[in-house]
Amino acid sequence: MAVMVLYYVITALFTVILVRNFIKTRDVQKGILYLAVLMPFVLRLFRLK
């Protein structure tokens, strides 16, 4: 159970960094790919999937 909470923390950490990198990147193609990668992270964080 405690381990599962840590996994949400890890997920949250990478979600934040992915969002940060998405905002900072000047490369639009990279930006779109960041968004695609973000999809599973966000839905897992919200415990929807």
Residues that bind other proteins (CB under 8 A): 3-4, 6-7, 10-11, 13-14, 17-18, 20-22, 25-26, 28-40, 42-44, 46-49
Q: Which residues of 4-22 are buried (b: 16+ CB within 10 A; e: fewer)?
A: eeeeeeeeeeebeebeeeb
Cβ 16 to other proteins shortest distance, Å? 9
Q: Are 34 and 18 in contact (CB under 8 A)?
A: yes
Cβ 1 to other proteins shortest distance, Å? 10
Cβ 38 to other proteins shortest distance, Å? 7
